Copies of this chain bind each other. A is one copy, B any other.
């Protein structure tokens, strides 16, 4: 690794990769994208030109063999995470991979074992964990500001996309609420309950004509009876807040909960009065001439900076979302899918070698 600089290869050239490279451009040379690969060379070249990336490849394999790349950011659709991630690791590259890391726990266990065996960087791009509001939220919960947490409620509800062939409606392209947006709510719940594994899971779903889950209502239960309630919808929008409710008050995280800029704590004090405390964490200012596709996309800067810090300190895993926790989350998704009867092609495919 070249000293002090983290050199990224970008695998995939879509909107999320665009936002990620824009975020990298905010880090003033500490982190650089040095190569990009897309399925079509022209797309890779266009992308490279937009971000002054020196090398563009028309195949993912070429990128994984580029000797100047330290770590590869995987941003293709999630059905292709496993095979591209494995290729990266097998070619000695660390990976920051978009969520969900894989289609099922079996695939993820394999990737984790390969990454650890080869001592390569491996981290889920769960950007939520690296926002300042999210760091502070974890501290306050741990300090018991709202007493014992009893209930977590979260919404991720979007307006319908009427085009039946759109990616989000097609399970073959990773469409469906659970893996597309549920990954955020489940990961948030695991954060609130400090990584404890739920003892009960329950889900009620509704499928579209292609077999994608367009509505899921999930109840997880933790070992002290704490409930975690998730409403995921691709048929009607709602307020996408998160509320953590405890014996002595509650915290409401402003929508969008997964890339928020603040929260309000409503605390019942010893003498029974109610107090309200506001916590604000504005987004980094958007640099003129830059823009982001995704709401609050500039918040990706926090994640990119964290990856840089980890890599520069020689760490190969995140301490904010461990790989064990990523795996626990994937196992919860597997169990929910089992209850829903939702099977992906990946479930019947053998692991790669």
Contacts and interface: CB of A to CB of B under 8 A. Distances in A.
A155 interface: yes
Interface residues of A, number: 36
B159 A233 contact: no
Contact of A237 (B153, B215, B239, B266): B266
Contacts of A339: none
B243 A239 contact: yes
Interface in A228-243: 229, 231, 233, 235-239, 243
A215 B247 CA distance: 13
Given A151-B157, A245-B157, A215 B236 contact: no
Contacts of A217: 219, 227, 229
A320 interface: no
6 contacts: A149-B236, A150-B236, A153-B231, A155-B243, A229-B231, A237-B250
Contacts of A235: 150-151, 247
Contacts of A149: 236
A112 B153 CA distance: 39
A91 interface: no
Contacts of A206: 225
Interface string A208-221: 00000001010100
A202 B204 CA distance: 10
A274 to B, nearest CB: 9
A171 B86 CA distance: 58
A246 interface: yes
B247 A151 contact: no
Nearest to A215: B227
A110 to B, nearest CB: 35
Interface string A181-210: 000000000000000000000101010000
A19 to B, nearest CB: 21
A206 to B, nearest CB: 6
A70 to B, nearest CB: 41
A160 interface: yes
B250 A151 contact: no
B247 A150 contact: no
Nearest to A155: B153
A249 interface: yes
6 closest A-B pairs by beta carbon, nearest first, are A150-B236, A236-B245, A238-B245, A238-B250, A150-B235, A151-B236
Interface in A262-280: 266, 268
A247 B236 contact: yes
